[in-house]
Amino acid sequence: MLDADAAAVDLLEQAMAWDRVSSWVEAQRLDTMRRFQAARTDADTEMCADMKAALATKTPSQRAAVLRMRANLDAEAGKFAAEEVALALNISTAAHKQLTLAQDLHAVHRDLGEALELGQVSGFVASMVAAATRRLPDEARRLLDEAVTADAVEQPAGKAIAAARARVAEADEHAEHRARHAAAERRVFCKPMDDGVAMLGAVLPAEDAIRAFNRIDELARTCRAAGDPATLDQLRADLAAKAPPERTWTPTAPTSTGLPPGPASRPRCRWSSR
C-alpha cells in the first residue's frame, strides 16, 4: 500500500516538474519572438540606411521616389514581424497578442516574466495578468509588477487574475468613467453551436450580472428542493431561457396518480406574475 502511494506521489511530482518545464519553455519562446521582432526592425532600418546611401547615384525624380519609399519603411520597420511569426508557427492572429505579452514581460512586468521562467506561474496566468494591467500607463504597470506577481505566485489562477484587476481598478483614475462607458455597451448575444444548441449570453454591469445570476441560482435551488430531478445547471438554463425578468418562479407538485412519476409528471416549476 505504501509503495503504491509513493508511486502516486512520485507521478504527481513529475507532473509538477513538467509543468515548471512548460512554463520555462513558454518564457524562452516568448523572449525569442521578442528578439526576432527587434532583429526584424533592425533589418528593416538597415535597409532604409542602404537606400539612403544609394541616393547619390540617382536622378532627382528617383531620389524623390526613394525618399518616399524610405519614409514608409522607416514608419513600418518591424511592423510585419507578427505576420511572419504567425506563418512560421501557424498561430494566426495570436501572434500579435503573444508578441505584446513578450514585450510586456521584458519591459514592463519583469518580475512576472521571471516568475514564468522559474515555473512559478503558467503562461496563461502571465498573459491574463499582463492583459489586466494594460489599461494603465507603463510606469503605473511597473509599480504594480511586484504586487501582481506575488498574487499570481501565491494564489490560484482565477483569484490571481481577479486580484490583478482589483489592483488596476484601485490605481486607475479613469476606471469610473470607463465603467460608465462599458455599461452603456450592455447587450445580449446568441452564438450558434453544434448539436442543435446555442449559447445565449449577456454583457452587463457586474453588479447586475451577479444579482441576476444569484436570483436564477436561488430559484433553481428552490425547484431542486421541491423535487425537480433536473440538475442545477439544467434548471438555471431553463429559468434563464423562459422566465421574463418581471416574473418569478414557484415550485408546483404534480397531480398524484398513484403511479411512479414519468417525464410529464415529475415535479416542475412554473412562473407566475409577481
- Is 4 inside any structural domain? no
Q: What is the pTM of this model?
A: 0.64
Unique residue bearing C-alpha cell 503504491 = 4
- Is 95 inside any structural domain? yes
- Give 74-127 pLDDT, tens digit per residue: 566 777 888 899 989 888 778 999 999 999 999 999 999 999 999 999 999 999
Q: 171-208 burial string, b = 16+ CB within 10 Å, else e?
A: bbeeeeeeeeeeeeeeeeeeeeeeeeeeeeeeebeeee
- Give 180-234 pLDDT, tens digit per residue: 888 899 999 999 999 999 999 999 988 899 999 999 999 999 999 999 999 999 9
Tell me what the pLDDT averaged over the chain comes to: 83
Residue 221's domain comprises 187-273
- Is 126 inside any structural domain? yes
CB count within 10 Å of CB 272 equals 9
Q: Please give the DSSP secondary-structure letter assigned to residue 268.
A: E
Q: Which of 157, 179, 201 is the last residue of a domain?
A: 179
CA 149 – CA 144 distance, rounded (Å): 8
* Total of domains in the chain: 2
Q: Which of 121, 149, 179 is the last residue of a domain?
A: 179
CB count within 10 Å of CB 148 equals 25
In the chain, DSSP assigns E strands to 187-192, 198-203, 247-252, 268-273
**pLDDT of 267 higher than 60:** no
| 101 and 213 together in one domain | no
- Is 165 inside any structural domain? yes
- Work out the burial of residue 3: count CB atoms within 10 Å of its CB; fewer than 13 is exposed, 13-18 middle, 19 or more buried: exposed
Answer positive or negative: Cα dihedral of 155, 160, 166, 172.
positive
